[in-house]
Structure 1
């Protein structure tokens, strides 16, 4: 029974046009309206009073949305992002891990909020894993990935420049090629990265995947706690229930997968959402219905009789009330 206003991102006018066309074909504008445009349109909309605001995007804009909602005490669902880590323990199936990590990372060339942002690899299997990752990239996209129709481009020049600047040529394991005219960035693996490097200070949101090494789970968990904020997702590859339990019990994140990436969002029975900097609230399936609903509690009492023990005066009723409470 909700009416809705949809505001697509101005960064992708093609998708915005498709959304507008679909909504006009399916709904009267008095029920669902689409507003296209840039920041000015968003700011005007945020001045209005809504029952609920749902936003997906960056933490920076999420703060703006939440501040505007606070003026009217409007509740919000924020699905943001963050540096989602992937962990490959020494007992992982490396071939499966490489394929599923590359598939998740290169979906929309890394421009998804749940893309694996970086990989922590156990030192014992680092060399073997790196070889498997390079092999998988070539299998997926060939030696001339710029000609591969399955590989997209960065959404605009600003994001192309930002991601291209994160590539340290001295640490490229494979890839690293860029073409500003096409906004093309080759699928790129970076090796020998540390938590202090520049690429580890912000969400990448592109086809560049830095790889770090750890010796023990204690070192790994310590590194995960150095991340700027709680990530939207975490992915762990291991065959050990004990390793799984230790990592999950020691970290905070929105949701994730064991021995896979990204696929948790495809299950409508799993709530999807972040925590802290990566968002608040959850949706997907029934959780989406709940996100846009208010659960209104109503108690209907009979008038056929009236129990007066709760009424004043309370003398001689205290002991009875204590027994009822117990």
Structure 2
């Protein structure tokens, strides 16, 4: 498609939106049901595509993509009518008789730019939010996960309302052309550099954005932590999808007095999950492309390999790797790892952890493993992150009720569940003021009503 084609597509969707067709609760519920049906009936197509793109096994594919979206659409549908209901707010007595409420109106036509690491969830979960808000949308799946993008493009028109939704395939030229259009909302998942490009494009039309940008998620292992359970949960969170997860632990800050036993537990957890030869494991994924593989291999020299390090470019395989003796100015500590390499750094105190976290850009997730609740609360009180988890990691986006999103360098805006509905609606305050009473005190000349105004000002709301 050319820019003109995109303009025509946006105009077609906007005309449909302005007709009011997307506003009714019945239309929204029907689209959510259709999306559920699509994910159920075409599940095999999605499984096969994600295996080809990322060697994602079915259990993980259900956890984070296929079944996750079926459940999220069902959850949204079951709560939608309550979310849509106007919220009544109190009205000052001085405006009586009157009543006020907040209604949640659709924004219009949105652009959704998905990411390659969870290519189904990150394209269609924002779509669930857009549908719940009564919007139309154009979906741009990531070209890096090409097989999955093709399945999305092939299936969406057969299940969802084609007057409201389109899928665009392509790479940077197509995304650039899409960003030149006038949108009512833009949702982007990716890294901060491209996030800045998206925000710059959105600024031309003052378009609201949700940016999910990731970051270097610090993971703190305190002396009081249950080391065996901590190691298992960090291993699962880090090496799920071969580490290509925006909420994964990026590096571990372990207290010195438990560093040695923690590392041993972490190595044992990796072997227990993926075997002594993880390349043969049916549960271990692959790096998405040779370009990303080459980037990750360069990071191996940032420290001493404690475990792992094996790699095979032809197979896009990089073993689960633990690095120790990692300088803070090394390459692996300067950029989001976004792969199966986990640097482990020793620290001496809670205050050192707090200084470390606060000296760096706000991460998407912050994880604290500690049996002493006061330690966790002290760190949470003194730091900032998009989300946080105590005694677990990575899995917080799977909870529909939680707001998910970054802050500062890791993004802006929240979604999932009601938070997605709010992101895709305008909270529109409305005052209904009767004409039965019309006090002159509000009108000039003010000097004639000064005493009465003073009395009214002290009346309760």
TM-score normalized by the length of structure 2: 0.69
Q: Distance in 2 between matches of 1:246 and 1:324?
A: 47
Q: Pick one of 240, 245, 259 that aligns with 1:126.
A: 259
Q: Please say if 1:309 is aligned against 2:457.
A: no
1:29 aligned partner: 162
Q: Give 1:146 shift.
A: 0.8
Q: Give 1:186 shift.
A: 0.4
2:365 aligned partner: 233
Q: Pick one of 318, 327, 335 that aligns with 1:202.
A: 335
Comparing 218-227 with 120-129, which one deviates more in the overlay?
A: 218-227
Q: Give 1:183 shift.
A: 1.3
Comparing 169-178 with 149-158, which one deviates more in the overlay?
A: 169-178
Comparing 249-258 with 19-28, which one deviates more in the overlay?
A: 19-28
Q: Distance in 2 between matches of 1:25 and 1:165?
A: 43
Q: Distance in 2 between matches of 1:281 and 1:196?
A: 31
After superposition, the C-alpha distances for 1:76-122 in whole angstroms (9 at most, x for unaligned) are 00001110010000000001100110111111111111111000000
After superposition, the C-alpha distances for 1:112-166 in whole angstroms (9 at most, x for unaligned) are 1111100000001001100000110000011111111111111111110111100
Comparing 52-61 with 310-319, which one deviates more in the overlay?
A: 310-319
Higher helix proportion (structure 1 or 2): 2
Q: Pick one of 329, 352, 355 that aligns with 1:222.
A: 355
Given that residues 52 and 74 in structure 1 are in contact (C-alpha distance below 8 angstroms), is that contact kept between their aligned partners in structure 2? yes
2:417 aligned partner: 285
Cα 1:315–1:27 change in 2 (3 A) is same
Alignment of 1:52-71 (within 5 A): 52-71=185-204
After superposition, the C-alpha distances for 1:182-220 in whole angstroms (9 at most, x for unaligned) are 111000001122322221110000000000001111111
Q: Please say if 1:11 is aligned against 2:112.
A: no
2:380 aligned partner: 248
Cα 1:313–1:16 change in 2 (3 A) is same
Q: Give 1:19 shift.
A: 1.4
Q: Pick one of 286, 310, 319 that aligns with 1:153.
A: 286
- The answer for unaligned runs of 5 or more in structure 1 is none
1:271 aligned partner: 403
Q: What's the RMSD between the two structures over aligned residues?
A: 1.3
Cα 1:315–1:196 change in 2 (3 A) is same
SS in 1 for 2:442: coil
SS in 1 for 2:389: strand
Q: Distance in 2 between matches of 1:137 and 1:196?
A: 27
Q: Distance in 1 between matches of 2:324 and 2:211?
A: 33
1:261 aligned partner: 393
Given that residues 303 and 324 in structure 2 are in contact (C-alpha distance below 8 angstroms), is that contact kept between their aligned partners in structure 1? no
TM-score normalized by the length of structure 1: 0.97
Comparing 126-135 with 192-201, which one deviates more in the overlay?
A: 192-201
Cα 1:309–1:9 change in 2 (3 A) is same
SS in 2 for 1:295: strand
Q: Pick one of 432, 450, 457 that aligns with 1:300.
A: 432
Q: Distance in 2 between matches of 1:70 and 1:186?
A: 42
Q: Distance in 1 between matches of 2:258 and 2:163?
A: 59
1:106 aligned partner: 239
Given that residues 247 and 364 in structure 2 are in contact (C-alpha distance below 8 angstroms), is that contact kept between their aligned partners in structure 1? yes
1:174 aligned partner: 307
Q: Give 1:169 shift.
A: 7.7
Q: Distance in 2 between matches of 1:296 and 1:190?
A: 51
Comparing 119-128 with 19-28, which one deviates more in the overlay?
A: 19-28
Given that residues 195 and 223 in structure 1 are in contact (C-alpha distance below 8 angstroms), is that contact kept between their aligned partners in structure 2? no
SS in 2 for 1:309: helix
Q: Please say if 1:96 is aligned against 2:229.
A: yes
Q: Distance in 2 between matches of 1:266 and 1:134?
A: 26
Query: Number of residue pairs matched?
Result: 325
